[in-house]
Amino acid sequence: MPNSFGHLFRITTWGESHGPGIGVVIDGCPPLLPITAEEIQAELDRRRPGQSDITTPRKEADVVEILSGVYEGKTTGTPIGLFVRNTDQRSSAYNEMKAAFRPSHADFTYQTKFGVRDPNGGGRSSARETIGRVAAGAFARKILALAHGIETRAYVTRIHDISMPAVTSATAFPSLAEVEASAVRCPDPATAAAMIARIKDVRSHGDSVGGVIECRIRNVPVGLGEPVFDRLEADLAKAMLSLPATKGFEIGSGFEGTLQKGSEHNDLFETRDGRVRTITNRSGGVQGGISNGEEIVFRVGFKPTATILQPQQTVDLEGNATELMGKGRHDPCVVPRAVVIVEAMAALVLLDHAMRQSAQNRTFEFPTE
């Protein structure tokens, strides 16, 4: 269903930007996972508005409450209800927007599809919905870490046209500290500084920019992913394109890889450290839809924030031409805050596939003849 994601570790999100709050239900979480509200909060704090001087000044503490499914500090196997109350709601900023469709927003499509919409702050189409994803992602990430040492790391590789140097084998897998060292979440300090300057510059003109996030996942066992439709990269692609403002997804060599010949692109096999490895990783850690034990590497493209503080041509609900001037408090660039959301979605996909793999391939062992 549209507001649920995952088959076995399944989350359902609900709530609107300017309603009472944002919630998520996690169904299928393994029991006995030790978890605290603080651990969830730590992830939410990386997502919340007002965290730095390049994000929206909207102030929301985004405090999470655990309403069910955890008993004496451990999950019980029953559904986990999480809730984050909305506190800083200035819906008056949206009065004008009730009467006209904001360009490149969801106003027009929601209104036409449903015949109605909550216009305050985008209602359900607001990126505040991703709070639920991040909160659920905290559970998924902890399970992956405890069970296999699986680590998910996303970071900003490009803002507008400012790119960081490619991550190579020498620099691979940035640490969390390296990512969090800058407000823009780019692990290369020089690039990060340039990115922050660019964001501030475009903001000063009432404009916005987008960029690219790369995500790497390490210590993934061989065998996650279910051909033919539920390939690991297919589910990752869906997860990423389900995020607001995303325009593209690529894995491994991606679109660049289409410029190579097969003889250049193929990942040759060798035995290394006692197990089968590929020498290169153009596959991005997935072959035939199934993880091959190498690092999973993918990238997600985010468009520039649609809300800009400039007058724009549009139409009102009756279709009459009008002009709309962006108001409210908005991020000039959503990419830095999206890093934690990309990690959360990636973890949700990985965990779901790990559970599916257990169900099909580890439930029964048949006698060998």
Positions at the binding site for FMN: 124-126, 288, 303-307, 329
Is residue 231 part of the contact set for its own copies (CB under 8 A)? yes
Task: State in angstroms the smallest separation of the CB of 3 from its own copies.
Answer: 4
Task: State in angstroms the smallest separation of the CB of 219 from its own copies.
Answer: 14
Task: State in angstroms the smallest separation of the CB of 346 from its own copies.
Answer: 14
Is residue 255 part of the contact set for its own copies (CB under 8 A)? yes
Positions at the binding site for NADP(+): 47
The label of the residue with tokens 């140097």 reads 165
Is residue 328 part of the contact set for its own copies (CB under 8 A)? no
Residues sharing a CB contact under 8 Å with residue 206, sequence separation 6 or more, in sequence order: 308, 309, 310, 326
Q: Which window, 56-64, 139-147, 166-174, 179-187, contacts its own copies (CB under 8 A)?
A: 139-147
CB 330 within 8 A of CB 203: no
Applying the rule CB under 8 A, the residues between 159 and 178 that interact with its own copies are: 160-161
Long-range contacts for 166-169 (Cβ within 8 Å, ≥24 apart)?
167/214, 167/216
Task: State in angstroms the smallest separation of the CB of 350 from its own copies.
Answer: 12
Is residue 182 part of the contact set for its own copies (CB under 8 A)? no
Applying the rule CB under 8 A, the residues between 31 and 90 that interact with its own copies are: 31-34, 65, 67-69, 71, 74, 76-81
Compute how many other C-beta atoms are within 10 angstroms of the C-beta atom of residue 114.
10
b or e along 185-194 (b: 16 or more beta carbons within 10 Å of the residue's beta carbon)? bbbbeebbeb
d(CA 364, CA 359): 9
Stretch 90-129: interaction string toward its own copies, x if CB under 8 A = -----------x-xxxxxxxx-xxxxxxx----xxx---x
Residue 308 CA neighbour count, 13 Å, CB half? 21
Is residue 143 part of the contact set for its own copies (CB under 8 A)? yes
